[in-house]
Structure 1
Amino acid sequence: MLRHTKIVATLGPASSTPETVERMIQAGVDVVRLNFSHGVPEDHQRRVEIVRSAMAKLGRPVAILADLQGPKIRIGKFSQDSVKLTPGDRFILDADCVLGDETRVGLDYKALPGDVETGAVLLLDDGRIILDVEFIRGNEIHTVVRHGGVLSNNKGINRQGGGLSAPALTAKDIADIRTAVALQVDYIAVSFPRGAEDMYMARQLIRAQGGDALTIAKIERVEAVAALNEIIDASDGLMVARGDLAVEVGDAAVPALQKRMIASARAKNKLVITATQMMESMIHAPIPTRAEVSDVANAVLDGTDAVMLSAETASGHYPVETVATMARVCLAAEQSAEATLDRDVFNRLFSRIDESIAIAAVWTAHHMNGKAVTAFTESGSTPLWMSRLNCCMPIYAMTAISGVLTKMCMYRGVHPIFMPQAPATLDELLKAGEAAILATGTVKKDDVVVFTGGEQVNTAGGTNLLKIKRVGQMQSAPAAA
């Protein structure tokens, strides 16, 4: 059985050797994530080289996602590396402090005193420590500890309910975009966008550097939830970044928001990744908890394009086993899912010929008990539209363009196939496509397969043709043009 939900795995100290990367790809990785919160450009370049070498060796395409750090608002350092805070203690967040102690600590975001007021609630270290703001005095935020614990260097700060004004793209992010474009990554994820403007700016910076990476908006702020539709319109996809989002909106609100984000992205023909703590226990254990299995399965059933591993593969003890386990859970969830294609298609309006052909091809294959849909594509748009429908059948996307090939590794249900020399005529294209899908082993002689392409071969945006074929038979029936 082919797995349709894609797996994103973060590379880090535990997964940066050629042998480990190859084993992770063989276990099921479709997209590798470079976390720009850690490392220097040389580290990212070395990992990209390892991934591309593994792709060539294994003959399997893999997409590369660069994840920008964004304005991660953190405390500074302590003279003793950490302090213990007790409920009722008074504690100062001091923008001018260099080394902290039991009474105060510095801030890397110097504007924070201007973003809070008396009564605000600050959550440190992913919400483990809660501070109530008593008053502001100059560059000092005076607080009372509500929930205490051990607080160590450089822990993150969130404001409950949102409202921090830090820009989404920092000077570091702008430099990292240049690095990511030079590495020719497929996707760039923007951390903490507040609205569509942040995503438009990221796209402009990418294009100004000559890059064609697609943009992923990480939904982590209350403001981003309020502007969700506008952010989706301005992006190529979303990441449901449940860590910081849960701190700002409250953990109980996240499951419903996850479902809403996935549905909204798919309805607008955009990609969606579900992330954060999906198999967190496998950082240290060889098997996941039952709750983690259910979490991954529910994301699959919600319709996510991809599920993401962070520390599990970046620094965990079992990176390969974690990928294999996630692949197994995704496949089992997909096998229990029911196709709801008619519900997806009815009442939709199409303004483009190629989009209507894409939807018609999937609908036709579904109702003819077809085994697959095959799209010849120059841009990846037709397979993307096809993948927005819940058809539960493989979509083979064939292209001669390497950058399009790897980008399609993120699309749910889409299985990219490289055609190094695209045939010059439609008949030659159909013959080559039939041979390629037979070679996958999932389609056999006499199976019904629906093909889409353009009368003008090798032309982006030219899909205007749908053909129904029984594999291995010479005749094909034209269905639309």
Structure 2
Amino acid sequence: MTRSTKIVATIGPSSANPDVFARMLAVGLDVARLNFSHGKREDHARNTAMIRKVSAAAGREIAIMADLQGPKIRVGRFRGGKVELVSGTRFTLDINSEEGNHERVGLDYPDLVGDVVAGNVLLLNDGMIVLDVIAVVGTEIQTSVRVGGELSNNKGINRQGGGLSAPALTEKDVEDLRTAIGIGADLIAVSFPKSAADMLTARALTHDFAGNGVKPKLIAKIERAEAIPALKDIIEASDGIMVARGDLAVEVGNAAVPALQKRMIRMARASNRLVITATQMMESMIQNPVPTRAEVSDVANAVLDGTDAVMLSAESATGRYPVQTVEAMASICAEAERSCDNELDKVFLDRKFHRIDEAIALGALFTAYHLNATAIVALTESGATALWMSRHSSPIPIYAMTARRDSARFMALFRNVVPIVTASWDDRESALEQVELTLVKHGFAKSGDVVVLTVGQPMATAGGTNSLKIIKVK
């Protein structure tokens, strides 16, 4: 394996073709994102079927992430599709306006009039347009245009500093969550959570809708100013987080985001949670076949920070070069990883373990590192052992073998972990034999290589890893 960091790519008109998707898989795609801000249920079901069919043909288990829209507050529509706002002029947001013009436009969120007061600053179209609130009168928010520009239909609105009362899960999100579970999504990204309670609500709905079936894992998208003070609790209530830098930057300011990104990655890894870094990572490749130097540095820095995955949005959904973008991102990740600090000894200083399987997982890392092993193999039911291993930088690839496809798909997001679906084994000796055959078959190891293995007894028990074994491949 030449790359540890995983790549999430959004599937859209540019990448929903089976041939294009197969090429994206071949050059490095690990997780497919379905953006529920766009498309209908039938579109997402069709794309899911395509993803499963193509990935199965390639012998890969690809995780599918359903990304809920959340309470995206937007302006209404304009008579001509767009207007040009001029700095210094007045502009009104009116919940009763049906067709906008250069003086006023409607809103899709009536409660905004109760969330803002004179003196607030509203940011439209990802902060490109800045409005100062002068007064709130009845159904109108009267503003002065501080920074003008082109404003088109349905562009988003944020309040500088956050504080909007919109719930994290709208009625649309609840129905989309039901749809995502119905089509077999492996991960659900929850947009705009403000607290752990939002994630617990999503968790309860997920359990209700899934019934006795597989429950998708939950990713909290950190994009509200209010989420920052509650970050620790949100992380603990989730299976992972997404550093959603677009809306977050609008609310807290662009300058604050780089330090927050590093802090969030650090906190997620310390809590044994996953982390995805997203938004505008390769934005120029929507139109161009190569990234800018700044984009290369941005992706590389996320890798050096320790992110599990980097994500593409419009670059792969509607861009002109979806395959080239994935390929370029994979190359950047692999190159950045050569400079990662893989010194493991300091991880174990003053470390106390509270679970046997956690101790075995980190013991395997330490042993493999000092034996200069070729590979680490985790025979795992839930993926927990591989997750603990993946929280620490290691130069040795981790191969997680499981009989559960849902666990394999979740592990597709783990940094430095290659999930492999295997047969279900009843006894350890036959399992060890098959491990060697699988490693050699895939070219992951050869005769004479040292491999460190973690396994549980009895087998096929979640959380039951209790043994570490060192083997020399025959």
Give yes or no for TM over 0.5.
Answer: yes
Q: CA RMSD in A?
A: 0.9
Partner of 1:241: 244
Partner of 2:350: 347
**Structure 1, 47-56 or 336-345: larger mean CA deviation:** 336-345
| Identity across the alignment (%) | 58
| Aligned mates of 2:17, 2:307 — CA distance in 1 | 29
Partner of 1:456: 458
Matched, 1:394 2:394: no
Deviations 1:310-338 (A, max 9, x none): 00000000000110111111111111222
Q: Structure 1 counterpart of 2:209, which letter?
A: Q
Residue-pair matches, total: 471
Match of 1:279 among 279, 282, 302: 282
Are the counterparts in 2 of residues 62 and 406 from structure 1 also a CA contact under 8 Å?
yes
Q: Map of 1:350-389 to 2, 5 A cutoff?
A: 350-389=353-392
Are the counterparts in 2 of residues 12 and 314 from structure 1 also a CA contact under 8 Å?
yes
2:56 aligned counterpart, secondary structure: helix
What's the CA shift for 1:440? 2.6
Q: Structure 2 counterpart of 1:179, which letter?
A: T
Deviations 1:391-430 (A, max 9, x none): 12110000111111111100000001110x2222111111
What's the CA shift for 1:345? 2.8
| Aligned mates of 1:277, 1:441 — CA distance in 2 | 35
Q: Structure 1 counterpart of 2:13, which letter?
A: P
| Aligned mates of 1:345, 1:143 — CA distance in 2 | 57
Provide TM-score, normalisation by structure 2. Answer: 0.98
What's the CA shift for 1:139? 1.4
| Aligned mates of 1:85, 1:466 — CA distance in 2 | 66
Are the counterparts in 1 of residues 357 and 466 from structure 2 also a CA contact under 8 Å?
yes
Partner of 1:130: 130
Runs of 4 or more consecutive aligned structure 1 residues displaced over 3 Å after TM superposition: none
2:84 aligned counterpart, secondary structure: strand
Q: Map of 1:185-204 to 2, 5 A cutoff?
A: 185-204=185-204
Q: Map of 1:6-405 to 2, 5 A cutoff?
A: 6-210=6-210, 211-405=214-408
Are the counterparts in 1 of residues 340 and 393 from structure 2 also a CA contact under 8 Å?
no
Q: Structure 2 counterpart of 1:375, which letter?
A: A
Are the counterparts in 2 of residues 70 and 192 from structure 1 also a CA contact under 8 Å?
yes
In the alignment, structure 1 segments of 5+ residues that lack a partner are 473-481
2:228 aligned counterpart, secondary structure: helix
Are the counterparts in 2 of residues 338 and 392 from structure 1 also a CA contact under 8 Å?
no
**Structure 1, 50-59 or 439-448: larger mean CA deviation:** 439-448
Deviations 1:77-100 (A, max 9, x none): 111211111111011111111111
What's the CA shift for 1:60? 1.2
| Aligned mates of 1:302, 1:13 — CA distance in 2 | 32
| Aligned mates of 2:391, 2:343 — CA distance in 1 | 11
| Aligned mates of 1:345, 1:222 — CA distance in 2 | 35
User: Closer, same or farther in 2 for the Cα pair 1:442/1:336, shift >3 Å?
Assistant: farther
What's the CA shift for 1:2? 2.2
What's the CA shift for 1:193? 0.5
Match of 1:416 among 414, 419, 422: 419
What's the CA shift for 1:40? 0.3
Match of 2:471 among 463, 469, 472: 469
| Aligned mates of 2:75, 2:346 — CA distance in 1 | 49
Partner of 1:479: none
| Aligned mates of 1:92, 1:152 — CA distance in 2 | 15
Partner of 1:438: 440
| Aligned mates of 1:26, 1:283 — CA distance in 2 | 20
Deviations 1:149-180 (A, max 9, x none): 11111100001000101000000000001001
What's the CA shift for 1:219? 0.4
What's the CA shift for 1:385? 0.6
Q: Structure 2 counterpart of 1:261, which letter?
A: M
| Aligned mates of 1:45, 1:407 — CA distance in 2 | 19
| Aligned mates of 2:32, 2:468 — CA distance in 1 | 34
Partner of 1:475: none
Deviations 1:254-275 (A, max 9, x none): 1110000000000000000000
Partner of 2:4: 4
Q: Structure 1 counterpart of 2:440, which letter?
A: L
What's the CA shift for 1:352? 1.0
In the alignment, structure 2 segments of 5+ residues that lack a partner are none
Provide TM-score, normalisation by structure 1. Answer: 0.97
**Structure 1, 333-342 or 187-196: larger mean CA deviation:** 333-342
Are the counterparts in 2 of residues 76 and 106 from structure 1 also a CA contact under 8 Å?
yes
| Aligned mates of 2:93, 2:32 — CA distance in 1 | 37
| Aligned mates of 2:348, 2:126 — CA distance in 1 | 41
| Aligned mates of 2:432, 2:35 — CA distance in 1 | 41
